[in-house]
Amino acid sequence: MTYGVIGTGAIGGYYGARLAQSGQEVHFLLHRDYEYVCQNGLRVVSPQGDFHLKHPNVYNTTSQMPKCDVVLVCLKTNKNHLLRELLPPLLHERTLVLLIQNGIGVEADVQEMFPGTWLAAGLAFICSAKSEPGLVNHQFYGSLNIGNYSCPQPAVIEALLDELHRANIEAKELEYEKARWRKAVWNMPYNGMTVALQCQTRDLMENPASRNLIWEQMLEVCRAATALGVEGVDEAFARKMMEMTDAMIPYSPSMRLDWDFHRPMEIQYLYTRPLLMAREAGSPMPRLEMLEAELRFMEAKASKQ
């Protein structure tokens, strides 16, 4: 299949480069480091083996890109308004748009923008950073869960999974709501807490007080998911996420990096939307509501400086 990548950062750069390395035709949209990658290529440093795409297909506008069978959207969700302009040149009647983005409710809003377009959620469990132009620093993990939102052809999802596997990417399909809420079990505690406490994941796990708070926040997400009728998001899964984080290197999640580099944080889909859904389902998440309020305060204060 032919792939397009919108948002060639730590996530889009990694998965797109893996697909290209395996022989797939991949077209990358770049912004700040477009000229650099044109001249120097795209490099991936990874515990699974470093590699260098010397001459990737790179563009600074989607109007020059071909129509694609699969488009990986790896933008921050607060830039999704740009999709109205970015996506149409890449779409044909059977294009699958894979939203590898954080939060709850993303697909519903993108579907409103593009009625009839086939959408799926991509939930990345990965530690990766784009530390300098043209360089993706893949540090740990790398699996990708796919949740079908509106694709009427299961064979398309199966073909995508097959090509991800050939690219040495661990990938599997999960029921859509289950996939999104499972990712929220990790995302909601760690993203906001590393910002609020100005730390990394290892710091949160090594301190008994913060470790207990992370656990209680995870359980809030599990209870909310259950109240919303989502199966398989339970205490056993939360414990698995704790164990996975214990095994990780010290890591700054995407929201912490956004804060450090003075970029807008993805509060709407990571917190506001799921918190509202949980409260409407009769299972509020008070610890995470407090965390959202702290993040809103920090963002508002920073905007005045």
Q: Can you list the domains of the chain with their CATH numbers?
A: 2-174 (3.40.50.720), 178-303 (1.10.1040.10)
CA neighbor of 269 nearest in space, from 102, 107, 113, 84:
102
Token pair listed for 108: 């519903």
pLDDT reported for residue 257: 93
Count the Cβ atoms, other than its own, within 10 Å of residue 281: 15
pLDDT reported for residue 168: 95
pLDDT reported for residue 304: 87
pTM for the whole structure: 0.93
d(CA 164, CA 124): 13
Residue carrying the six token digits 């995302």: 187
Which residues form the catalytic set?
183
pLDDT reported for residue 140: 86
pLDDT reported for residue 129: 86
Per the DSSP assignment, residues forming a β-bridge with 2 are: 25
- Answer yes or no: are the C-beta atoms of 136 and 14 closer than 8 Å: yes
pLDDT reported for residue 305: 80
pLDDT reported for residue 237: 97
Low-confidence ranges of the chain (pLDDT < 70): none
